[in-house]
Chains A and B, each alone.
Chain A
């Protein structure tokens, strides 16, 4: 695509895609906050669940990374 309008659309689209990073931040914060709330209630069981914590964070984060990818594709690949 060529032209100023198309380029403007790319920039607006990339900016809109960046909203997805904020959504991923909410998700990761939710996972970590709930883990901490549970861990403080039962600290002895918390140590064995750190792997689950990181897996949960990774899954929540993946979708934010997809948003980042959309932004990158709009900026450099389209």
Chain B
């Protein structure tokens, strides 16, 4: 991208916030370098542990405030798994709960000022999505054997159309991890870039500053909503894929 002109004019660099920096030592990043991405992923895990391990330590029958938050999370994801993927998918509930909590907390920690959104990086979301894709494919073949391939053979369609539909279904099956990961990363990245752009407008002129601050506040509210919805969407799509793997027959 072209550099903004030196002095004068707006110099908004909305993508600078996504830069990965090494925290200790030099600036070169190797495989095991502790970067800001590592730090914020670790903080997400710490937040989850605080909520679910420390927060529910009391195991009270009448829950404390923090325990009831944990119970809301648990019940929400449990109902989602049962409603979308069916009762026999409950044994994969821990995995789906882990995914939801990690993405939810990573998204929300990324909303803190000066923080770093780990889920805005395709490298992070792609690992999550590929893990889901491989898990679901392996489960499908283990549960149904070659019968899993009937997922691509739409038996409700006319016979002449079925080979064409099979090709389309096959392509859409392999695009799943791509769209699954890019949806999350793209939403988080776009939202934060928009926040930065509007914040940059505030410096342009004293007249624009109040408008810009109001706009940033409004978009921040939207981003809170998007963070929760994208965690929900990622998880519910995982449930849909899981349902396809457990019951591949159309």
Contact = CB atoms under 8 A, between A and B. Distances in A.
**10 pairs of A and B residues whose beta carbons are closest in the complex:** A65-B186, A62-B179, A58-B233, A62-B183, A68-B186, A65-B183, A75-B1, A65-B182, A51-B84, A54-B233
Contacts, number: 40
B15 interface: yes
A76 B179 contact: no
A55 B236 contact: yes
A34 interface: no
Interface of A: 7, 48, 51, 54-55, 57-58, 61-62, 65-66, 68-69, 72, 75-76
B20 to A, nearest CB: 14
Main SS class of interface, B? helix
B2 A7 contact: yes
B236 A68 contact: no
Contacts of A7: 2
Given A51-B83, A76-B1, A69 B182 contact: yes
A47 to B, nearest CB: 11
B111 interface: no
B131 interface: no
B165 interface: no
Contacts of B1: 75-76
Given A62-B179, A75-B1, A51 B80 contact: yes
